Amino acid sequence: MKVVIQRSKQASVTVEGEVTGAIDKGYVLLVGITHTDTPEDIAYCAKKVAELRLWEDEEGKMNHSILETSGAILSVSQFTLYGDTKKGRRPSFIEAARPEQAKPMWDAFNEALRVYGLHVETGVFGAMMDVALINDGPVTIVIDSAK
């Protein structure tokens, strides 16, 4: 499982002209699921997202988690995180989980974040989405449960 965390001041997802999720201060999560991911991968990534200290304290050091700053989550499923570009000019997505496996795992990941007490908004699984954000910092971190 791969999760790209983008710390944001404001973010939203629009599908066919309708806003499906929006947050103020928090994280935009781009979430990729591979066919070998397990509930343990979900738990690992959810804990990392909730507990990583990516918010500054009064001295300007990243010492606070999203839990401590009352931030929200905008979670966007993104199979393209498993795009393999080693051969040719068109990415191969063979490592991305099939939708029938990926959607329940993405839903479970979002629920795991809610268990930590986080407010979670989402995009729409499998849809063409317009994701807008004001990146804060910018701060961008990649979590990979396989490493």
| Distance of alpha carbon 6 from alpha carbon 26, whole angstroms | 8
**pLDDT band at residue 67, thresholds of 50, 70 and 90?**
very high
Task: Specify the pLDDT at position 71.
Answer: 96
Q: What is the pLDDT of residues 33-58, one digit of tens each?
A: 999 999 999 999 999 999 999 999 99
Counting DSSP H helices and E strands in the chain, the numbers are 3, 8
**pLDDT band at residue 107, thresholds of 50, 70 and 90?**
very high
pLDDT of 147 > 90? The answer is no
Given a contact cutoff of 8 angstroms between Cβ atoms, the answer to whether 8 and 134 are in contact is: yes
In terms of phi and psi (left: phi > 0; alpha: psi -120 to 50; beta: otherwise), the region of 99 is alpha
Indicate if 80 belongs to the active site.
Answer: yes
Q: What is the pLDDT of residues 81-104, one digit of tens each?
A: 999 999 999 999 999 999 999 999
Indicate if 140 belongs to the active site.
Answer: no
State if pTM tops 0.85: yes
Candidates 36, 38, 69, 80; catalytic one: 80
Indicate if 85 belongs to the active site.
Answer: no
